[in-house]
A and B are shown apart, each in its own frame.
Chain A
Amino acid sequence: MSSLRRVLVTARPLRARLALGVLLGALAIGAGVALMATSGYLISRAALRPEILSLAVTIVGVRFFGISRGVFRYAERLASHDAALRLLARLRVTFFTRLEPLVPEGLPAETRSGDLLGRFVADVDELQNVFVRAVGPPLVAVLVGAGAVLTAGLVDLRAGLVLAAALVGGGLLVPAASAALVRSSARREAPVRAALLADVVSTLDAAPELVVFGGREAALARIDGGDGALTAIRSRAALAEGMGDGLVTLAAGLAAAGMLVVAVPHVRGVLLAMLALLALASFEAVRPLPAAAQQLGAADEAASRVYDVVDRPAPVLDPPTPAPRPEGRTLEYGGVRLRRGVVVALVGPSGAGKTRLAHLLVRFRDPEFGAVLLDGRDLRAYTQADVRSTVLLSDQDAHLFATSIRENLRIARPDATDDELRAALRRARALDWVETLPDDLDTHVGEHGALVSGGQRQRLALARAFLSDAPFVIFDEPTAHLDAPTAAEVVETILELPREGRGVLLISHTDDVADAADEVVEL
């Protein structure tokens, strides 16, 4: 649980809000317990047929608890969700701030793929529920349990002890046991599920070939096999998942019966009903605990996955006394020498380290030998911000954010006017297309730019490059996913940049960009 503890440290500034949620939760359940206990007392008193007036206070108590429970619960829900969302905001900011310097070179290669970053986001989101579902309920149970045991103990010490024992059994042992069983089956389940998912994916991927070549039955049999193994594991896990509710019910009943057994000889009869109902009702606080314990394990795993990512060292750091901002006259590394107004093509087969070189030139990482020289000075002498406003990397994937075309372009220059945006689009040969769109610059590009084609995506990336005033621009495989005519057009557009006095490095795995370049470097 050590990773989870670190999350809770992050939550420390929110502790007053979190405590308020716990307190209101305890009051809500406490009101329910008090409602039953007071009602039991009221009825027992009434059975002795006293003056009705003497019952007045108890009746008021019953009514008060009856109304307050719902109100407390409503307030608790709002308070604890508000705290959880504030916690989420803190976690996002904290983890994002630590993730940022790691991207892209500080992460293991496979984490750079979108899936694992998606997982990272899901894990951070999962942690917001830690408090509402896993940490809050045990604290509420402790408060309510202590109150109930104290009340019972004041009536009769033995009854209090019986209740305490049953609450510990139902609230501690049962959740611990069920969580341990569920976790151990989850460990066995994970590889089986992963294999099943992989089988389903490869079967669906191969569907046309299964139809043409046959083999459909064999593929389905593999899935059946995986499902058989999964069913066996899940059936055993179901026993553990189902036991929580049942055992808590049993503990509640045994507590009530046990308290009556020890209390009957010693306690005034008028209090017996109160004791029994107090016991039955107080287990409402214990009921969510088995699920909470299971959640706690899942949350800890999510937290340790998140820390695994953000605990990595940053691949580059700013120097303590940075050199003044470079003008951007020359950029050199190895065989590459980039000047303004010149296009250098860098070609080589995939896997030769072209993207790595691009990352060196914008200082996403540092070279193991030698140095990248910007205006004759080691890149490490400048701040990263100065390097990247001098050397712009236009990524292979050219991420488009799920917002309007305008906002996507303004990433290159936040204060750009619409006229400037249109000028950049025109030079990127995208203006005609944008003007046919229903909302013009306000058109939403969809998640991951799903609503625009590969060619349009590269043109928008080009427009960003035109908007930025970085003297050097590096294009990493700008034509990778484009068909031949579109690719030729994109390269032609890129050649506009050197005409306005900027230096361009064009990276490609094919040599068809070589003709366009002033200089060709092979890796």
Chain B
Amino acid sequence: MRPVDPRLLREAPAARRFVLLAGVLGVVGAVATVAQAVALGLAVDHAFLQHRRVGGELAVFAVTTAVRAAVAWLLETGGRRTAVRVAASLRRRLVAHLIDARPRDVAVGELAAAAVTGLDALGPYFGKFLPQLVLSCAVPAIVFAWVVWHDLTSALVMALTLPLIPVFGILVGKVTEQRTLRRFRTLGVLSSYFVDVVRGLPTLRAFNRTPSVADVSEAYRRETMSTLRIGFLSALVLELAATISTAVIAVEIGLRLVDGGIALAPALAVLVLAPEFYGPLRAAAAQFHASADGLAAAGRVFELLDLPPAVRAPERPLPVPDLRRATIRFEALGLHYAGRDEPALSGLDAAIGPGERVAIGGPSGAGKTTLLEIVLRLLDQTSGRITVDGVDLRELDPTAWHRGLAWLPQRPQLPAGTVRAALGGPAIADERLERALAQAGAGFARLDDVLGERTPLSFGEIRRLAFARTLARDAALLVLDEPTTHLDAGAAQIVIDAIGALPETTTVLVATHDPRLLAACDRVVALAPVEERQQA
């Protein structure tokens, strides 16, 4: 795994700026670290061996300490602020993209989690891991440069031991990887067990069963511990390499002090710097999880951003023919979702003249909604085509096509805000909106009401408001998906009456298996259920 995702830097300018800032701050912090150690060495040397007052040295020590503290504060604060900005910009792009991509195989909850809670992981990534990563490059380099200048022997010890840390880390990692992977699978099963049992409690209680939470938790502990015993080995190697090297340097300097090979002040400075030399690398390694989580969150967003849009946009969009005169034809229309055994819709031929009221019939699962979604340009068919006055629907300007039609989905979602806005106002005049509310049997709503403000709307109320939205558009083509299911006879009659009251030129395409509604239509296009299609 790479510690920095180049795509994250490429696509989030805030992240790029922060890496630059962190680089500068990292160098400042590293210089302050060296200066602090030198000041301490001088202070002790002068006080101890030369019996001088050391106010000046201690003042420098205090100032460099303050600089280090400020660098630490700025790095984490800056990193966390960057994370917020990067998350916001990724979120906006992701939501905008998902409105067009609309993946069918990922639940909305999961998409929203990727866009909101998932991106929280960027906080520790930018706030903790990246600063630590920058410091783990800057501090060892500058410390090493200073030590080379003043004490070549200690520099040699450092140069020999530092590479051991990543080398041993990788070796231990390679050896343990296989075992860890295998165990992770068992662990996954064991850790989801408790959730599963809690969710299934009503069923367990109904059957008088008590699950063995204790046994499974104990198994989970044993599995986890045997993973950790190996997992912690790499941390042990890091730790040992760092502290043993510090000890080696201390002893080696001590012996040379006795010989007079080095003075006390640089010797002390080297000693103080030895743990600083190894420290940042260890700290960065300790933040490994922050890095993995943050990059995984960003990676998931990029994966979703790479999804293709649900429908292909035409390269040169053609103008939409006048729907009040145009005939819509389905020609051998079919759709086969990737990965499914059976096509959702296959070989449909039909023509719908202007002003016709056509019902799409057939059992559930026969592809009624799929057909409507192709007409709505929410889906692309995989075979055949739809023509409007002879022109392939896919070549028409999609925005203009949408402007000419109105739709009532099975489960409508109304945007938050006023009823007026939800129905398409103020672009549509208030009188027309009110008429639509009355026709749709949604007289309970006033245009200035804010949706769901006082009491949440019932499903039936949302349906009626959505039907009012459909009627208010005065569209030439109405696409209605099961407009009467879950409605009692009275409410269903309101819908049927409203369809009857439409101007004669309005074309209606309605998916339904409600006999009352079927009777009100001119004609029924029946879709065959899947089994019959197989036989055919």
Partner-B contacts on A (CB < 8 A): 31-32, 35-36, 38-40, 42-47, 49-50, 52, 55, 58-59, 62-63, 65-67, 69-71, 73-74, 77-78, 81-82, 85-86, 88-89, 92-93, 96, 99-100, 103-104, 114, 117-118, 120-121, 124-125, 193, 196-197, 199-216, 218-220, 222-224, 227-228, 230-231, 234-235, 237-239, 241-243, 245-247, 249-250, 252-254, 256-257, 260-261, 264, 269-270, 272-273, 276-277, 280-281, 362, 364, 385, 388-389, 392-395, 397-402, 411-412, 414, 447-448, 464, 468, 483-485
Q: Which residues on B sit within 8 Å (CB–CB) of A193?
A: 116
Q: Which residues on A sit within 8 Å (CB–CB) of B239?
A: 69-70, 73-74
**B196–A100 touching, CB < 8 Å:** no
The distance in angstroms between the C-alpha atoms of A389 and B99, with both chains bound, is: 51
**A196–B243 touching, CB < 8 Å:** no
> Known interface pairs A103-B202, A362-B206. Does A234 touch B80 (Cβ–Cβ under 8 Å)?
yes
The 6 A-B residue pairs with the shortest CB-CB distance, nearest first, are: A253-B65, A66-B247, A269-B48, A246-B73, A242-B77, A89-B217
The distance in angstroms between the C-alpha atoms of A218 and B425, with both chains bound, is: 13
List 25 interface pairs A-B (beta carbons < 8 Å), by A numbering.
A42-B250, A43-B264, A47-B257, A66-B248, A71-B236, A78-B232, A85-B224, A92-B214, A93-B214, A100-B210, A197-B116, A199-B416, A210-B99, A212-B376, A212-B402, A212-B407, A213-B402, A242-B127, A243-B73, A245-B72, A253-B69, A269-B44, A388-B207, A395-B206, A399-B200
Cβ of A74 to closest chain B Cβ, rounded Å? 4
Q: Which of B134-193 contact A (CB under 8 A)?
A: 189, 192-193
Cβ of A207 to closest chain B Cβ, rounded Å? 5
The distance in angstroms between the C-alpha atoms of A411 and B77, with both chains bound, is: 53
The distance in angstroms between the C-alpha atoms of A42 and B235, with both chains bound, is: 28
Q: Which residues on A sit within 8 Å (CB–CB) of B85?
A: 231
**A219–B225 touching, CB < 8 Å:** no
**B81–A196 touching, CB < 8 Å:** no
Closest to A114 in B: B199
Closest to A44 in B: B48
Cβ of A164 to closest chain B Cβ, rounded Å? 19
**A201–B254 touching, CB < 8 Å:** no
Cβ of A247 to closest chain B Cβ, rounded Å? 7
**A93–B416 touching, CB < 8 Å:** no
**A242–B210 touching, CB < 8 Å:** no
The SS class assigned to the B binding surface is helix
**B192–A49 touching, CB < 8 Å:** no
The distance in angstroms between the C-alpha atoms of A252 and B272, with both chains bound, is: 13
Residue of B99, B116, B208, B217 near A88 (CB, 8 A) is: B217
Q: Which residues on A sit within 8 Å (CB–CB) of B244?
A: 66-67, 70
**B225–A253 touching, CB < 8 Å:** no
Residue interface bits B189-230, CB-to-A below 8 A is 1, else 0: 100111111111111111111100110011011001100110
> Known interface pairs A43-B253, A85-B225. Does A121 touch B194 (Cβ–Cβ under 8 Å)?
yes
**B246–A246 touching, CB < 8 Å:** no
Q: Which residues on B sit within 8 Å (CB–CB) of A118?
A: 195, 198-199
B74 at the interface (CB under 8 A from A): yes
**A216–B99 touching, CB < 8 Å:** yes
Closest to B270 in A: A43
**B258–A82 touching, CB < 8 Å:** no
B23 at the interface (CB under 8 A from A): no
Residue interface bits B423-453, CB-to-A below 8 A is 1, else 0: 0100000000000000000000000000000
The distance in angstroms between the C-alpha atoms of A231 and B62, with both chains bound, is: 35
Q: Which residues on B sit within 8 Å (CB–CB) of A71?
A: 236, 240
> Known interface pairs A47-B267, A69-B243. Does A208 touch B199 (Cβ–Cβ under 8 Å)?
no
Q: Which residues on B sit within 8 Å (CB–CB) of A120?
A: 198
- How many pairs of A and B residues are in contact by the CB < 8 Å rule? 375
The SS class assigned to the A binding surface is helix
Known: A215-B415, A241-B127, A253-B36. 14 other contacts (CB 8 A): A39-B250, A73-B235, A86-B221, A205-B413, A206-B414, A206-B415, A210-B99, A218-B415, A220-B92, A249-B65, A253-B62, A272-B48, A411-B203, A414-B209
B385 at the interface (CB under 8 A from A): no
Cβ of B279 to closest chain A Cβ, rounded Å? 9
**B95–A483 touching, CB < 8 Å:** no
Q: Which residues on A sit within 8 Å (CB–CB) of B416?
A: 199, 202, 222
**A40–B54 touching, CB < 8 Å:** no
The distance in angstroms between the C-alpha atoms of A286 and B255, with both chains bound, is: 33
Cβ of A102 to closest chain B Cβ, rounded Å? 9
Cβ of A120 to closest chain B Cβ, rounded Å? 7
> Known interface pairs A206-B415, A208-B409, A389-B208. Does A43 touch B111 (Cβ–Cβ under 8 Å)?
no
B115 at the interface (CB under 8 A from A): yes
The distance in angstroms between the C-alpha atoms of A93 and B189, with both chains bound, is: 18
**A254–B260 touching, CB < 8 Å:** no
**B247–A67 touching, CB < 8 Å:** yes
Cβ of A58 to closest chain B Cβ, rounded Å? 8
B84 at the interface (CB under 8 A from A): yes
**B254–A42 touching, CB < 8 Å:** yes
Q: Which residues on A sit within 8 Å (CB–CB) of B264?
A: 43-44, 47
Residue interface bits B255-275, CB-to-A below 8 A is 1, else 0: 101101000100110011001
Residue of A63, A205, A253 near B68 (CB, 8 A) is: A253
Closest to A231 in B: B84
**B275–A36 touching, CB < 8 Å:** yes
B350 at the interface (CB under 8 A from A): no
**B95–A223 touching, CB < 8 Å:** yes
Cβ of B207 to closest chain A Cβ, rounded Å? 5
Residue of B95, B240, B242, B268 near A273 (CB, 8 A) is: B268
Cβ of A175 to closest chain B Cβ, rounded Å? 15
**A238–B80 touching, CB < 8 Å:** yes
The distance in angstroms between the C-alpha atoms of A241 and B47, with both chains bound, is: 38
The distance in angstroms between the C-alpha atoms of A82 and B244, with both chains bound, is: 27
B98 at the interface (CB under 8 A from A): yes
Q: Which residues on B sit within 8 Å (CB–CB) of A485?
A: 363
**B217–A220 touching, CB < 8 Å:** no
**B76–A245 touching, CB < 8 Å:** yes
The distance in angstroms between the C-alpha atoms of A74 and B232, with both chains bound, is: 7
The distance in angstroms between the C-alpha atoms of A223 and B416, with both chains bound, is: 12
**A81–B127 touching, CB < 8 Å:** no
Of A44, A78, A394, A395, the most chain B CB neighbours within 10 A belong to: A44
Cβ of A394 to closest chain B Cβ, rounded Å? 7
Q: Which residues on A sit within 8 Å (CB–CB) of B405?
A: 212
> Known interface pairs A272-B47, A399-B202. Does A392 touch B54 (Cβ–Cβ under 8 Å)?
no
Residue interface bits B42-63, CB-to-A below 8 A is 1, else 0: 0110011101001000100110
B332 at the interface (CB under 8 A from A): no
Closest to A255 in B: B65
Closest to B94 in A: A200
**B40–A256 touching, CB < 8 Å:** yes
B100 at the interface (CB under 8 A from A): yes
The distance in angstroms between the C-alpha atoms of A193 and B246, with both chains bound, is: 47
Residue of A65, A239, A269 near B77 (CB, 8 A) is: A239
Closest to B113 in A: A197
The distance in angstroms between the C-alpha atoms of A239 and B84, with both chains bound, is: 13
Cβ of A483 to closest chain B Cβ, rounded Å? 4
The distance in angstroms between the C-alpha atoms of A239 and B85, with both chains bound, is: 15
